[in-house]
Amino acid sequence: MNRSNNKQKEPLTDTQLLMGITIGIFFVMYIAAMIFLRGGFLHSQQLFDLLNDNASLIIVSCGLTIVMIGGGIDISVGAVTSLVVMSCVLYLNKGGSVLVSILLALSIGLAFGAVHGFLVSYLEIQPFIVTLAGMFFARGMTTILSIDPQKVSHEGFKSLQDIKIEIDWLGYTAKNGNHIPARMELGVVVALLCVAVVFIILRYTRTGRGFYAMGGNQTSSLMLGINVKRTRFSSYLLSGLLSGISGYVFMMHTGAGNATNAAGMEMNAIASSIIGGTLLTGGVGNVIGTLFGTLTLTTIKKIVVSSGLNDPWWQSITTGGMLCFFILLQSIVLRRREKSKKSA
Amino acid sequence: MNNMFKKLIKGGMGQLAIPLIAIALLVIFNLIRDPGFFFVGISHNNDGNIVLQGNLISIINGASELAVLAMGMTLVTAACGGQDISVGAAAAIAGSVLVKTLKSGPQITGGKVLLAFILACIVAMIFGSFNGTLVAVFKIQPMIATLILYTCGRSIAYWINGGATPTVSSPIISAIGSFIPGIPVPTPVLIVILMAIIFKLIFRFTSLELFTQSVGINGSAARLNGINSTFIKLLSFIILGVCVAVAGTIGVSRLGLINHETLLLDIEMDAILAVAIGGNSLGGGKFKISGSIIGAYVIQMLTITLYAMKVSSTDVKAYKALVIILLVVIGSPVFKDRFNKFVNRMRGDKKGISEKGAAKA
C-alpha cells in the first residue's frame, strides 16, 4: 500500500466498498422498477410506504449491526419486539398512560439486553445459545401473556398513532383531482433518528470504536486497553434497547398485539445487515449500509409482487436468490482485495 | 466425593458430564413429581400389533428426528465452526420430493418407497453441497451461507408440492412412521439406532473423525498436514444432507402428509441446542456425537415433562429457555472456575488457589 504515495485518492475501506455496492444496487433496482413496472413506483408514496412498513425492522437491524460488528449475534430481537408489543398493548388496555408504556417498552428491551450481555461477556457463553434461549423465553412469555390477538383501545395512544407527517410537495394528484400529500408515520422519524444516533455512536464515540476493535481482533483490542467485557456487554445492551424501541414502533404501526408478531424478523434483520455490508465475523459494517440493506430487501419483495409473480412462493425464493447474490459478491470482492493487498 | 465430582467435570467424562447430569436431574425431578411417569405399558394399537406405550417411549420416539439431525449437525459444527440453520427447510424439501415421487403412480410399493427415499437423499445432498460449497469454497460463515436456504427452502418445498399439502397413505409409510407389525419398538427409534451404528462404523473404519477435528481446530494447519480441508467441510454438509433426508422421511411418515410450513418447524434451533448441550463447542474442533444424541433426548424429555405438567405447547418455550440458561451457565468455563475455587476454599486448600493463579498468570 505504501508504494501508492503519488495516488491522490485514499483507498476505500472494506466497509465503505460493501456499503457502496449495496446503495448502488438499491438505486439501480428502484430506478429500473420505476421505468419497467411504473405503477406505484412512480409515486413517492411507495418509498414512504416501504419506510412505514419496515420502520421497526430498520431499528432492529441497527441493533443487530452493532452486535455483529462486535463479533456476536443476537437472534432474540424479533421475539423481544413481539413481547414488547404484547405487554404494552395489555398495559394500555388496562388503562395505563402512554408515557409509562414507552418506559415499559424500553425497560423490557434493556432487561433482555442486560441479561444477554451479562451471560455472553461475563460468563463467556456462546452468544448464539444465549440469545436463542432469550428468543424462546420472549416468545413463550408472549403467549403466556395472551394467546389471542389484542387490539389497543387506549384513546391517548390512538391519537399518538394518528400523528402522520404530511409532506405536501412530494404528494401526487389523484385521478379525481384531489391532491394527496405523502404520508410518513412517526415511527419512521424514530427509525431514522435511531440510525443517526447509532451512526454517531459507531463513528465518534470511544465505545463505538471499541466495537470495531473488539470484532476485528479481540486479543489485540484487549492489549490496546479496551475493556472488552464491558464493550461487549454494552453492545448487547444497545441491541436490547433498540429491540424495545422497535417493539413500540411496531405497535404504533399495527395497533395490535399478536403472538405471531414479528415472526422471522431476526433473520430479516440479519439479512439486512449482511446486504448492507456487515460481516458476521465482526469488525466490518456500517449502519447506513444496514438502512439501505433493509430497503433493498423490502423493495425486492415489492417488485416481485408488482411484477405479477403472484404465487406465494416467489417472494421468498427471490429473496433467497438475492441474498445468495449479495453474499457471493461480498465474498468475491473481499477475497480479491485481500489478494491485491498481499501482492502489494 | 469432591474429588470424584471434579474428576467427572475435568476428566475424560468432562464433555458428557453436563448432558448426563441434565438427564439425571430430569429423571429425579420426574420421579419425585410423579413416580408413574416412566411407566412403560404394553398395549394393542389399531392394527392389532403389540406395542410399547408410555411417556418414556414417547420421549425416545419423539426425539428421533432431532437425534438424527443432531448427529449431522455435530459434524458440520466440528468441521466448520458454525451451524446449518437450514435443516428444517431442507427437510421440508426432501419430504416434498419423497411425497411427489410416491404420488407419481397409482400404487405405492416397497421399491417405490426406496426409490423415493433415495431421490430425497440425492436432493438433500445437492442442497447440502450447495451450502457446503458456499462455506468451504467461498469461505462464508455457515450461518450466513445457510440463511439463504433457510429463507427460501420452505417456499421451494411449497413450489414442489404445487401449492398444496398432499397426503400419502400406505401401510409401508405408516410402518416407517409408527410401528412395523410384530416389532413393539417404534420404527423411528430403530432408525436412530441404525444411524448411530452407521456413524460409529464410519468413525471406526475411516479417519473422518480425526480429520474433521483437525480441520475444525486449525484449518490451515490441517491443510499443511495434507488434509483437504475444503473437501472435509463439503463432506460434512453432504452427510448432514443425508441426515436431513432421513429426518424428513420420518417426519412425513409420522403424519402421512407433507406440510411445508409445519414439517420439523424450528428444529434447526433445537438441533444446535442439542449439539451445545452435548458439550460440543459451537466454535468447532473436538466433538462427541454421543453427547449430541443425549442432548436431543434431554430436550425432548424436558418438553414431555412440561407437557405432563399441563403447560400448553405454546408456553413450553419460556420454561425451556430457563432450563437452557441454567444448563449453559453451569457448563460455562467461568462458572466451573468459580465453582472449583469455591470448593477449594471450603476445604481450606489454599494451594489449589495459588496453583490456579499461577496457571492464569
- What is the C-alpha end-to-end distance of chain B, expressed in Å? 29
* Across A181-185, A317-321, B267-271, least confident range: A181-185
Which residue in A118, A136, A272 has the most chain B C-beta atoms within 10 A of its own C-beta, making it the best mutation to test that interface? A136
Chain B residue whose CA is closest to A122:
B334
Residues of the domain holding B193 = 2-310
A331 pLDDT tier (thresholds 50, 70, 90): confident
Q: Would residue B351 count as lying in a domain? A: no
pLDDT of residue A2: 45
CB contact residues (below 8 A), chain A span 68-97, against chain B = 73
Chain B residue whose CA is closest to A68:
B144
> Are A123 and B329 in contact (CB < 8 Å)?
yes
- B15 vs A138 pLDDT, higher one: A138
Residues of A whose CB is below 8 A from B145: 327
Which residue in B85, B144, B154 has the most chain A C-beta atoms within 10 A of its own C-beta, making it the best mutation to test that interface? B144
Residue B227, domain CATH: 1.10.3470
> Are A130 and B328 in contact (CB < 8 Å)?
yes
Nearest-angstrom CA–CA distance, A276 and A19: 6
pLDDT at A133 over 50: yes
pLDDT at A91 over 80: yes
pLDDT of residue A282: 81
| Total-model pTM | 0.86
CB B271 within 8 A of CB A132: no
Share of chain A above pLDDT 90, in %: 43
A41 pLDDT tier (thresholds 50, 70, 90): confident
pLDDT at A149 over 60: yes
Nearest-angstrom CA–CA distance, B15 and A294: 41
Nearest-angstrom CA–CA distance, A201 and A211: 10
pLDDT of residue A11: 59
pLDDT at B67 over 90: yes
> Are B163 and A311 in contact (CB < 8 Å)?
yes
Q: Would residue A158 count as lying in a domain? A: yes
pLDDT of residue A314: 87
Q: Would residue A304 count as lying in a domain? A: no
CA distances from A208 to A65, A198, B175 (A): 12, 9, 59
Residues of the domain holding A222 = 46-164+181-298
> Are B329 and A119 in contact (CB < 8 Å)?
yes
pLDDT at A177 over 80: no
> Are B159 and A313 in contact (CB < 8 Å)?
yes
Nearest Cα residue to B156 out of B260, B26, B9, B302: B260
Q: Would residue B335 count as lying in a domain? A: no
Share of chain A above pLDDT 70, in %: 95
**Per-residue pLDDT tens digits for B217-233:** 998 899 999 999 999 99
Q: Would residue B339 count as lying in a domain? A: no
CB B234 within 8 A of CB B133: yes
Residues of A whose CB is below 8 A from B315: 140, 143-144
- A336 vs B80 pLDDT, higher one: B80
> Are A323 and B148 in contact (CB < 8 Å)?
yes
Q: Would residue A81 count as lying in a domain? A: yes
Chain A residue whose CA is closest to B269:
A132
Q: Would residue A137 count as lying in a domain? A: yes
Tell whether A132 is within 8 A of chain B (Cβ). Answer: yes
Question: Quick one: average pLDDT of B355-360?
Answer: 48
A80 pLDDT tier (thresholds 50, 70, 90): very high
A144 pLDDT tier (thresholds 50, 70, 90): very high
A4 pLDDT tier (thresholds 50, 70, 90): very low
Q: Would residue A318 count as lying in a domain? A: no
Determine the number of helices (DSSP H) and then strands (DSSP E) in chain A: 13, 4
Nearest Cα residue to B219 out of B299, B114, B306, B139: B139
Q: Would residue A330 count as lying in a domain? A: no
Share of chain B above pLDDT 90, in %: 46
Question: Quick one: average pLDDT of A169-173?
Answer: 72
Nearest-angstrom CA–CA distance, A161 and A193: 18
Q: Would residue B186 count as lying in a domain? A: yes
Q: Would residue B173 count as lying in a domain? A: yes
Closest Cα of chain B to A112: distance in Å? 13
Three cell numbers, residue A268 = 430479516
For A316, the closest of B144, B152, B319 (CB atoms) is B152
pLDDT at B360 over 50: no
**Per-residue pLDDT tens digits for B277-318:** 888 888 888 899 999 999 999 999 999 999 888 888 888 888
B349 pLDDT tier (thresholds 50, 70, 90): low
Tell whether A260 is within 8 A of chain B (Cβ). Answer: no
- B339 vs B123 pLDDT, higher one: B123
**Per-residue pLDDT tens digits for A257-312:** 888 888 888 888 998 998 888 887 788 888 999 999 999 998 988 888 888 777 77
> Are B315 and A140 in contact (CB < 8 Å)?
yes
* Across A236-250, A322-336, B1-15, B310-324, least confident range: B1-15
Closest Cα of chain A to B10: distance in Å? 18
Q: Would residue B323 count as lying in a domain? A: no
b/e map of A263-296 (b: 16 or more CB within 10 Å)? eebbbbbbbbbbbbbbbbebbbbbbbbbbbbbbb
Question: Quick one: average pLDDT of B207-216?
Answer: 93
pLDDT of residue B33: 87
- What is the C-alpha end-to-end distance of chain A, expressed in Å? 6
Helix, strand or coil, per DSSP, at residue A172: strand
Residues of A whose CB is below 8 A from B147: 267, 270-271, 274, 323
pLDDT of residue A343: 75
Q: Would residue A279 count as lying in a domain? A: yes
Which residue in B83, B93, B155 has the most chain A C-beta atoms within 10 A of its own C-beta, making it the best mutation to test that interface? B155
Q: Would residue B324 count as lying in a domain? A: no
Residues of B whose CB is below 8 A from A315: 155
Residues of B whose CB is below 8 A from A122: 334
How many Cβ contacts (< 8 angstroms) between chains A and B? Answer: 131
Question: Quick one: average pLDDT of B206-225?
Answer: 92
**Per-residue pLDDT tens digits for B169-193:** 888 888 888 888 888 889 999 999 9
Nearest-angstrom CA–CA distance, B138 and A264: 26
* Across B13-17, B110-114, B231-235, least confident range: B13-17
- Residue A266, CA atoms < 13 Å, CB-side half-sphere: 26
Share of chain B above pLDDT 70, in %: 92
Q: Would residue A74 count as lying in a domain? A: yes
> Are A132 and B272 in contact (CB < 8 Å)?
yes
pLDDT of residue A334: 78
Chain B residue whose CA is closest to A135:
B321
What is the total count of domains within chain B?
A: 1
pLDDT at B59 over 80: yes
* Across A7-11, A149-153, B118-122, B333-337, least confident range: A7-11
Which residue in A86, A313, A314 has the most chain B C-beta atoms within 10 A of its own C-beta, making it the best mutation to test that interface? A313
> Are B143 and A73 in contact (CB < 8 Å)?
yes
Strand-pair partners of B330: none
Q: Would residue B246 count as lying in a domain? A: yes
Most confident of A201-205, B39-43, B47-51: A201-205
Helix, strand or coil, per DSSP, at residue B264: coil
- What is the average pLDDT score of chain B? 87
What is the total count of domains within chain A?
A: 1
